[in-house]
Structure 1
Amino acid sequence: MELKKIFSRDSLFSRKNNIIGIDFNNNAFKLVEIAHQVGGQKLLFCGESRISKGAMDTGYIKDQEKMFFVLEKIVTEAGDRLVGNQAVVAIPEGKVFIRVVTIPKIDENKIGEAIRWEAEANIPMSLDSVYYDWQLLEKKEKEIRVVVVASPKNLIDNYIDFFSKVGIEIVAFEAESIATGRSVIPIEKEGCSMILDIGREGSSIAVYENGVPVFTTSSSISGNSFTDSVMRKFGIKEEKAEKYKAKVGLGSTKAEKNEALKIYQPVLASLTNDVNKTIDFFENSLSGVKYNKIDEIIVCGGGANLKGLVEYLSAQVQKRTLRSNPWINFKGEKLCKTMNQERAQSYATAIGLALRNN
């Protein structure tokens, strides 16, 4: 099948002022469009579709025809609410290398060459096989600190090939952690924050310095881990287990809390251990960072909606812990009325991508 362009309509707004955030993995494709206008922003559309089996493989688009139908379903649902074609596309965190490097303070025209040398020493792939970029973190009297981000060329080229065929103009690629940080960390926030993003199949943990990720890792614990625990406990199917999880969470009454802790104890213990290990490593072992204490933990992703989880983690790790507000940096009108705070948790990355306007 020859793919057709489904993003070929004329925009109602200036195209350069509309950004579509595209976040997808092996299971779901999420799309958010925000219009950036003088005096504010407008959320024009948000939508998602499940990705059929075989369309993706370890982060790569394997079957373009299947992915086309996934995207076409979202575009059909959007109708005339989706008006642009310029997009910022997320790179899976597992396919991104993030390193903080320090170089001597030198002439600006030599910084690029110096960063290339540091990237070669710090990124576990040949620079010929990756695309990389960098962002300034801090200028000191005698040195400069930057964060370097790299991703495999064959992955980026794989995405470019597909999206160009369907009529999407990619204006930037961005690591999931960078986009999520833009969505849930207040712009004015200084210091060190951790984001725990609990997805359907896995979780990512990222530590940020003034809103920029400086360390990332992952956890095998996911939303499915909690669902599977309920299924095993009661011998029920996934649909009923999801309903129980949504209704009861970690419990409201003493009896519910006791039951929930029995059901989820191995999952909660593993997740807490992963968070504590990251905190300990960052605060006691990681070099090259400005701050050595994490101020707060922000929980996002669909798993953030599990009742009582934020309070449980706060008590276990002894850090200020809160559920994210993916709209904290959005200044404008939400035309997509179905996007409530609970649903927005799983859209945090896509929202952050669409908030980028440069």
Structure 2
Amino acid sequence: MSVLCQIKPRYGAEWKSMGFFTNPGAVGVEIDTGVIRAVELKGSGRAVSLAAAGQIDIPLPAVSEGVVAQAAVVAGALRELWSRCGISKQRVVLGICNQNVFMRIATLPKIPEKKLAQALRFQAGQYFPVNISQLVFDYALLGEVSKAKAAELEVLLVASRRDIVQTNLQALEAAGLQTEILDISYLALLRTLSATQRSDTLVLVDIANGLTTIQLVSRGVPRFSRVIAHSLITYAGEADLALQEAALLSRPPDGDWLVTLANEIRSSVSYYLAQGNAGMVNSVLLSGRGARLKGLPERLQEELEVPVEVLDPLQNLSQSLPASGVDLGAAGADFAVCIGLALRGLGA
């Protein structure tokens, strides 16, 4: 079962829940430190193809760890990206990822599903470190779990700071874009998994410029996630390189950066297993720009003693068309989040 979680804003006239796209195309947008990416997909079902894809560099101060700091700069870059890549749609699926994005698994007494939303409004606050009034919040029902006394409902909760969401959305609005769906970036990666990967227990590690996310997934369901600042920028700093040079370095990553990343993955898996969850982790899948670091999968595999591979986000697409200035054969991992977001827009 694949959980496709949408954050549906629940306040204000401008925050209407738009639902799925009804047209045959969708655009996913990822705003990262130093770069903005967009992917346009067309089609439906098993006949989804890539219509356009591109990225544009932005000044590092414009976005910090997933939070837009210079809206005018981001808006200008988005307009240029749309023009350069020939993206046809103005309505987008925006990915959001920062240290104030939260994901929790909650269990509640079994109640009719129609009463679940009301119950969560009263109980969700206990699961987050920020007052629920300051959050944009949503949930997805995962199913029932058997307990000693009675069956309970298992629910996936997601939330993000409202002020940060508004700041990022305002940058898109200034670019003339309309955000129809707001999604958690790392959850979007679930839509790029193959059927075999969805049936497994694995760790998804997305190494972006500004942040790294670690997500443990079992049978297509996210069970645990962490957002850490140990990212490609951290690696570039330790290697004394410009950010653009870091992913192109010809030597394998080594030293403290690699050890720290391996330890973060290891501790996340240990925490998950300590909760009494069954099923050992069978593999690690890497995505994001940092996944292209030469020799990283092999070095992490040595450290973690489990298979480590780079995620292929194109594996579920029926056809890949040439993208403007982007070699997705080489840089596909960079666009994994965007592809997952666009698939969300198609209702995949």
Interval of TM-score (by shorter of Structure 1 and Structure 2): 0.7 to 0.9
Kept after mapping to 2: 8 A contact 1:203/1:218: yes
Candidates 323, 342, 351, aligned match of 2:330: 342
Instruction: Using the TM superposition, give the Cα deviation of residue 305 of structure 1 relative to its aligned residue in structure 2, in angstroms.
Output: 1.6
Instruction: Using the TM superposition, give the Cα deviation of residue 308 of structure 1 relative to its aligned residue in structure 2, in angstroms.
Output: 2.1
Q: d(CA) in 2 for partners of 1:240 and 1:208?
A: 30
Q: d(CA) in 2 for partners of 1:188 and 1:205?
A: 16
Q: Secondary structure at the match of 1:158?
A: helix
Runs of 4+ in 1 over 6 A off after TM superposition: none
Deviation per residue, 1:325-346 (Å, 9 max, x gap): 1112223343427433331111
Number of the residue aligned with 2:342 = 354
Candidates 19, 22, 30, aligned match of 1:23: 30
Q: 1:58 to 1:223 in 2, by over 3 A?
A: closer
Equivalent runs, 1:131-170 vs 2, <5 Å: 131-140=136-145, 142-170=151-179
Equivalent runs, 1:69-84 vs 2, <5 Å: 69-79=76-86, 82-84=87-89
Instruction: Using the TM superposition, give the Cα deviation of residue 102 of structure 1 relative to its aligned residue in structure 2, in angstroms.
Output: 0.7
1:275 to 2:278 alignment: no
Q: 1:312 to 1:161 in 2, by over 3 A?
A: closer
Q: d(CA) in 1 for partners of 2:245 and 2:59?
A: 22
Kept after mapping to 2: 8 A contact 1:206/1:216: yes
Root-mean-square deviation (Å): 2.6
Number of the residue aligned with 1:8 = none
Candidates 299, 315, 323, aligned match of 1:328: 315
1:119 to 2:107 alignment: no
Q: Secondary structure at the match of 2:155?
A: strand
Kept after mapping to 2: 8 A contact 1:230/1:241: no
Q: d(CA) in 2 for partners of 1:115 and 1:69?
A: 39
Q: d(CA) in 1 for partners of 2:295 and 2:175?
A: 42
Structure 1 alignment gaps of length 5 or more: 1-13, 232-236, 251-263
Q: Judge which range, 211-220 or 273-282, deviates more.
A: 211-220
Candidates 296, 300, 310, aligned match of 1:313: 300
Q: 1:37 to 1:195 in 2, by over 3 A?
A: closer
Deviation per residue, 1:242-277 (Å, 9 max, x gap): 48x533336xxxxxxxxxxxxx22222222211111
Instruction: Using the TM superposition, give the Cα deviation of residue 220 of structure 1 relative to its aligned residue in structure 2, in angstroms.
Output: 4.0
Instruction: Using the TM superposition, give the Cα deviation of residue 38 of structure 1 relative to its aligned residue in structure 2, in angstroms.
Output: 6.8
Q: d(CA) in 2 for partners of 1:54 and 1:220?
A: 15
Kept after mapping to 2: 8 A contact 1:27/1:51: yes
Aligned length: 321
Q: 1:26 to 1:303 in 2, by over 3 A?
A: closer
Q: 1:313 to 1:239 in 2, by over 3 A?
A: closer
Using the size of structure 1 for normalisation, the TM-score is: 0.80
Q: d(CA) in 2 for partners of 1:85 and 1:184?
A: 27
Kept after mapping to 2: 8 A contact 1:207/1:215: yes
Q: 1:42 to 1:308 in 2, by over 3 A?
A: same
Q: d(CA) in 1 for partners of 2:230 and 2:110?
A: 42
Q: d(CA) in 2 for partners of 1:208 and 1:178?
A: 10
Deviation per residue, 1:80-101 (Å, 9 max, x gap): xx11122110111422110000
Bigger share in helix: 1
Number of the residue aligned with 1:212 = 221
Q: 1:240 to 1:300 in 2, by over 3 A?
A: closer
1:179 to 2:188 alignment: yes
Aligned residue identity for 1:279: V
Q: 1:54 to 1:304 in 2, by over 3 A?
A: closer
Equivalent runs, 1:234-253 vs 2, <5 Å: 238=242, 242=246, 246-249=249-252
Instruction: Using the TM superposition, give the Cα deviation of residue 278 of structure 1 relative to its aligned residue in structure 2, in angstroms.
Output: 1.2
Q: Secondary structure at the match of 1:84?
A: coil
Aligned residue identity for 2:337: T
Number of the residue aligned with 1:195 = 204
Number of the residue aligned with 1:95 = 100
Deviation per residue, 1:93-142 (Å, 9 max, x gap): 42211000011221122111222233111112222211111112222461
Q: d(CA) in 1 for partners of 2:222 and 2:331?
A: 24
Structure 2 alignment gaps of length 5 or more: 1-20
Deviation per residue, 1:149-205 (Å, 9 max, x gap): 011122222233332343322121111111122224547622422111122233221
Q: Secondary structure at the match of 1:282?
A: helix
Aligned residue identity for 1:350: C
Instruction: Using the TM superposition, give the Cα deviation of residue 210 of structure 1 relative to its aligned residue in structure 2, in angstroms.
Output: 2.6
Q: Secondary structure at the match of 1:248?
A: coil
Q: d(CA) in 1 for partners of 2:227 and 2:44?
A: 36
Kept after mapping to 2: 8 A contact 1:17/1:36: yes
Q: Secondary structure at the match of 2:99?
A: helix
Q: d(CA) in 1 for partners of 2:93 and 2:65?
A: 20
Q: d(CA) in 1 for partners of 2:177 and 2:228?
A: 32
Aligned residue identity for 1:112: A
